[in-house]
A and B are shown apart, each in its own frame.
Chain A
Amino acid sequence: MKSLSVIAALLGLLAAGPCSAFSTVALPADFKPPPVFKNNMLVHVISVEKTYAKEQINVMLENVSDEPQSEYFLPFTAEQIARVGAVEAKDRKDDTIGPFGVDLVEYDALSDVQYYRITLPSPLKAGGQYPLAVSWVYLNSYRPLPASIGQDEQQFLVYDFSLFAPSAYTTLKQKTEVKFSTVTIPDYTTTFGPEGQEYPQKVGSKMLYGPFDEQPAGAFFPAQVRFEFTKPVIHVSTLERDIEVSHWGGNVAFEERYTLYHLGANLSTQFNRVKWAQSQFYNPASTALKELKFPLQIGSVDPYFTDAIGNVSTSRFRSSKREAMLELKPRYPVFGGWKYPFTIGWNTNAANVLRNTADGGHVLKIPFFEGPRQAEGVEYGEVNVRVLLPEGSENVKYYTSIPDSSIVEHSVDVHKTYLDTIGRTSVTIKAKNLGDEFRYRDLVITYETPLAGTLRKPVVVFASMLAVYAAAWALGKVQVGFSSK
């Protein structure tokens, strides 16, 4: 009953009120981060193992001002800010100090430098040091080079970055580490360190640049790596996820609509079926997306896989006590530059995800989004989750462990469907720029359903049927036409 204890713990959280979601801070147009910090030692880890780039900086902060400080600013270029997502800040030493508040700074929309503001849990006293870890992901982070390849050729991607970590403060010493999923890295930027040593050092599928000596705020050193990535570059521009909770049916229905693109290298010639059919015997690494595997929650039933023109028969569902794996094959292999939108859905017994609390309320705990499990990763431009609660639900509270900085919008509305009279309470949460490592982050919703709301529908349906019969009977009694008598 671990999940129950988790729920109990979360309930304590929820008591505080609805989740603090994405917020922005408005600052004057001529804002500049005050130089109150110094980065003593900074390690910049860039991971290009998946279809999206993940960056992390581990930094030892020092407050160099005279007053306690709690706001640390992290700069991005204007071009990056649209693609960056899931900015999460933590204490590097102590995991229990939860994710810190991260806000997008709104000050001058035209400026080339934009900031995220990280609020430390407690102000750092003058001269004090603090180990901070910040991570984020970039979407659309690569470009294929060559931009078009043959159907059976290897794909190479290029990633542009700065050898110096983005910082609004002076950095005394820093290192940059790039992680790959391959050892085939034909091209990369080389440079020399302060003592003339050659960078980077290659260790297996890693590259180490640095250490570098002191750099001023905003220092930038353009660098580029080109690496082999003969896998699909899957980009889901929008994922719409609907969850419908039915108390009468004891069922929770999921439906997900994916708009999927392959952002890898385009085909240099047209698709050749003969070549494709022949290569299938050897099953070589290919940039084409052939299969998507969705590990659904155990106990999921009735899955379906459709697209704009109906059911796609090439899917398989393996369900057992240990797994519920939905394996989908798109209608055609998806190559670079191609698109394949589709819909999947399934049901699950409400008992798997819904609990009643002692005081008559309900707690729904589901993953914020699930998505396919692909070794190469999947990036999500937009994730819109909508949860339809039973008609008449009230006192709705929700919480999600998706990074706040990725949540764009959240609201509680009313949605009318299936013979509703007052409509169902719906919770809508929109998030952007996420990688598939944030799958299974929780979404917890608590709500109450008064008895009147539960009984409303059967009563209304019964009454209207009665009314129809009564009307039919009354109409049957009406004498139409002229009686000859």
Chain B
Amino acid sequence: MAAKTQGPAVGYTTESTRTLLRVVILCFIAAAAISSRLFSVIRFESIIHEFDPWFNFRATKYLVANGFHKFWDWFDDRTWHPLGRVTGGTLYPGLMVTSGAIYHALRTLTIPVDIRNICVLLAPACSGLTAFATYLLTNEMTTSPSAGLLAAVFMGIAPGYISRSVAGSYDNEAIAIFLLVFTFYLWIKALKLGSMLWGALCALFYGYMVASWGGYAFITCLLPVHALVLIAMGRYSTRLYVSYTTWYALGTLASMQIPFVGFLPIKTSEHMPALGIFGFIQLIGFIQYVRSAISGRQFQTFLVTILVATFGLGLLGLVALTSLGYVAPWSGRFYSLWDTGYAKIHIPIIASVSEHQPTAWPSFFFDLNFLIWLFPAGVYLCFQDLKDEHVFVVVYALFGSYFAGVMVRLMLTLTPVVCVAAAMAASQILDTYLSWKSATPVEEQEAPKKVKGGLRGSDKPNVGIYSNLTKVMVSGSMLVYLLMFVSHCTWVTSNAYSSPSVVLASRMPDGSQHIIDDYREAYQWLRQNTKEDAKVMSWWDYGYQIGGMADRPTLVDNNTWNNTHIATVGKAMSSREEVSYPIMRQHEVDYVLVVFGALLGYSGDDINKFLWMVRIAEGIWPDEVKERDFFTPQGEYRVDEGATETMKNSLMYKMSYYNYASLFPAGQAADRVRGVRIPDQGPVLNTLEEAFTSENWIIRIYKVKDLDNIGRDHANAAAFERGQKKKKPTKKRGARVLRVD
């Protein structure tokens, strides 16, 4: 690669060679990005991962089977029984429509690709595009030719992004991050050129982004903040006016086409900054116009009047509309972004999701490795020439860091700016230290592959690096960091982010891989051997999977739109059978599914999630379900002999441990998750019967008994079945006395 760098020769051939080289390098980066995401496909199979992707997959299949219009109007009566869900109007259709379009395009070319494979590979394919978009965005920030390529590499393999885009992770984020970065690129482009065309393109991709992911609000807030900062810095320009106005007007219209978004852009507080800045920028435009028309003194008065009037009226209007209910105040999920403790107190359902937890600091390093310390350096470099686009990076970095610290999943939105800033810093270092223009040019063999043509830096009058040793040491250590980054990314991807979580891998004693496939075993059993419309009650985590794999109606699922319904399920799970049974009958439940990891030591089971069920139920029925009752007087959460009566009588406990002890010799029944011994006398179930238990007991399915044929209650009927005698009330006899005659 070094051979290509022959100074800034402006020859046609050199230029086209460079372009070709860039294209080749970008193709390699895309290939690396895609192939590093294929661990799970190679290790396991082409399978949809985790929970939400199963819904997206199911929706995509519905779209492909029934066409776009049916999809748009889809009312799904197989979830949230008996309420149903207006699915077509409550989802972001971008992802499904993208896969559907790819599917139909391939079909037109008569390539028979399974829709599942498209869904599985969509995220890796988009990661290649994201790398390219990052390249474009970085190139807007710096003149260094290597920064863009470095940024593309970083973006391609940074674990922070891989975590949400491995093959099979068919979630909205899969395409949303590409759209996010590309929208930002278009925004910068529009802002730089003051071009309506680029502004419109930006709006178009913003619309696509809105159609794809709820995180679009990040763009909706970030662009106005950027505009506001620019204005505050006194950098208002017609370029800004043109690009912002074009983006806002067209983008908002585009976003309102999505049924789920609808009128939110003018009704909710999240969208108000964009609207406010839109108005503000009109005002400034108007003032600028007036200033050119009238004299200075008059202008002063005019300015003050109009500013005070507008702000006052605007603020009053907003407050009035909010209090009248036209504009919705901030939503709970948004509050939890400002106050990390908010969700825990008010919305347990949000707090119960692990990805909504605040980020622990090691995970920054885990997800970004050495980028995290290059990142501030890159931001500092932005301050150096601080053009409009650099202000954007600074603003983005600020907000991105804050949000990433608040919620684990928002690490995803931080990653692009980290990659951009870190690439700027890295390329600055490399450009400086790999420069040939010193007293004696040195042969730098260790030059990292992606770095080339490090000569632009020397155009500036600059102090050079004269010692070859310094050059070798700095670029050498940089090379080491880069290599460590690559190996770290590979390791993280392979170990942390490539498990489908539907299948579990374990090792046989001889080292061969053994697959634990209990989830699918049970779901397949449900799908094949129960009635088509048998309602399955389970905790909401498994709702999407049951819908996708078992194809059975569920009571609650990962959509979590109805807290009360979820609390109802939580109450049924955490109450005594006599309380739960009527609830299940009322909801026409046929089967109850629980996840139980005690045999295998699978820690993500329902007993470990149980307290969340209790908490969510307690939120609605504080008198009937009490979290305290599930703890021993010493405050321990126990499942063994020392468990509280409430715990032992709860449906969840009974379903989990029913019949479990009989698998072991007497006195040896153990729970390998909680590491305790389970009493030999297991719980007794009267209203449910065990219908299916998977091979490793991870999934247990119970059938809800019908009402007794001869009108007994279930406890009596079950006791009779077990052959227990009905307890007769013992007659009180008088005291024995000797017979006296």
Give residues in A with beta carbon < 8 Å to B. 269-274, 277, 307-314, 331-332, 337-341, 416-420, 481
Contact = CB atoms under 8 A, between A and B. Distances in A.
A313 B503 contact: yes
Given A313-B517, A331-B520, A419-B109, A341 B662 contact: no
Nearest to A271: B692
Contacts of A419: 109-111
Interface stretch (B308-316, B319-327, B523-531): B523-531
Given A271-B692, A273-B697, A309-B523, A338 B528 contact: yes
Interface in B659-704: 659, 662-663, 689-695, 697, 703
A311 B47 contact: yes
Interface string B509-536: 0000001010011011101110000000
A340 B662 CA distance: 29
A420 B517 contact: no
A418 B110 contact: yes
Nearest to A332: B525
The 8 tightest CB contacts between A and B, nearest first, are A273-B693, A313-B515, A311-B45, A331-B521, A339-B528, A309-B549, A270-B691, A338-B529
B112 interface: yes
A30 B629 CA distance: 82
A307 B116 CA distance: 13
Given A277-B663, A338-B529, A309 B520 contact: yes
Contacts of B549: 309
Interface in B173-192: none
A69 B584 CA distance: 71
A450 B197 CA distance: 54
B520 A310 contact: yes
B703 A270 contact: yes
Nearest to A338: B529
Contacts of A481: 197
B110 A340 contact: no
A339 B663 contact: no
B369 to A, nearest CB: 33
Contacts of B659: 272-274
Contacts of B529: 337-339
B110 A314 contact: no
Contacts of B110: 416-420
Contacts of A418: 110-112
A272 B690 contact: yes
Contacts of A307: 524
Nearest to A342: B524
Contacts of A312: 517
Contacts of B46: 310
Contacts of A314: 517
A339 B530 CA distance: 10
A277 B599 CA distance: 13
A310 B54 CA distance: 13
Contacts of B689: 269-270
Interface residues of B, number: 33
A270 B517 contact: no
From B663, B691, B693, B703, name the one whose CB has the most chain A CB atoms within 10 angstroms: B693
A313 B515 CA distance: 7
A463 B481 CA distance: 46
A333 to B, nearest CB: 10
Interface in B28-56: 44-47
Interface in B44-80: 44-47
A337 B530 CA distance: 11
Nearest to B545: A309
B45 A274 contact: no
A341 B529 CA distance: 11
Nearest to A312: B517
A276 to B, nearest CB: 9
Given A270-B690, A270-B692, A313-B515, A331 B524 contact: yes
Contact of A309 (B44, B515, B524, B703): B524
Contacts of A270: 689-692, 703
B524 A308 contact: yes
Contacts of B524: 307-309, 331-332, 340
Contacts of A269: 689
Contacts of A274: 659, 662-663
Contact of A340 (B503, B520, B528): B528
Interface string B196-230: 01000000000000000000000000000000000
11 contacts: A273-B692, A273-B693, A309-B527, A311-B45, A313-B515, A314-B517, A331-B520, A332-B695, A338-B528, A419-B109, A419-B110
A340 B528 CA distance: 7
A417 B695 CA distance: 40
B200 to A, nearest CB: 13
A339 B515 CA distance: 23
Contacts of A277: 663
A271 B525 CA distance: 11
Contacts of B520: 309-310, 331
Interface string B484-514: 0000000000000000000100000000000
From B44, B45, B525, name the one whose CB has the most chain A CB atoms within 10 angstroms: B525
Contacts of A331: 517, 520-521, 524-525
Contacts of B47: 310-311
Nearest to A423: B110
Contacts of B515: 313
Interface in B139-166: none
A338 B524 CA distance: 11
Contacts of A308: 524, 527
A280 to B, nearest CB: 10
Nearest to B548: A309
A314 B524 CA distance: 14
Nearest to A306: B45
A277 B694 CA distance: 11
B546 to A, nearest CB: 11
A312 B689 CA distance: 28
B517 A332 contact: no
B107 to A, nearest CB: 10
B22 to A, nearest CB: 16
B104 to A, nearest CB: 15
Contacts of A338: 528-529
Nearest to A417: B112
Given A270-B689, A271-B690, A340-B528, 13 more contacts: A270-B703, A271-B693, A272-B690, A273-B697, A274-B662, A309-B520, A309-B524, A309-B527, A310-B45, A332-B521, A332-B694, A332-B695, A338-B528
A277 B529 CA distance: 20
A313 B512 CA distance: 13
Contacts of B111: 417-419
Contacts of A420: 110
A15 B657 CA distance: 70
Contacts of A272: 659, 690
B124 to A, nearest CB: 18
Interface in B107-128: 109-112
A341 B524 CA distance: 10
A417 B113 CA distance: 10
A136 to B, nearest CB: 31
Interface string B313-340: 0000000000000000000000000000
A274 B700 CA distance: 12
Contacts of B697: 273
A341 B693 contact: no
Given A338-B528, A418-B112, A332 B692 contact: yes
A125 B528 CA distance: 57
Contacts of B692: 270-271, 273, 332
Nearest to B528: A339
B60 to A, nearest CB: 15
A481 B196 CA distance: 12
A25 B474 CA distance: 92
A341 B663 contact: no
B62 to A, nearest CB: 15
Nearest to A419: B110
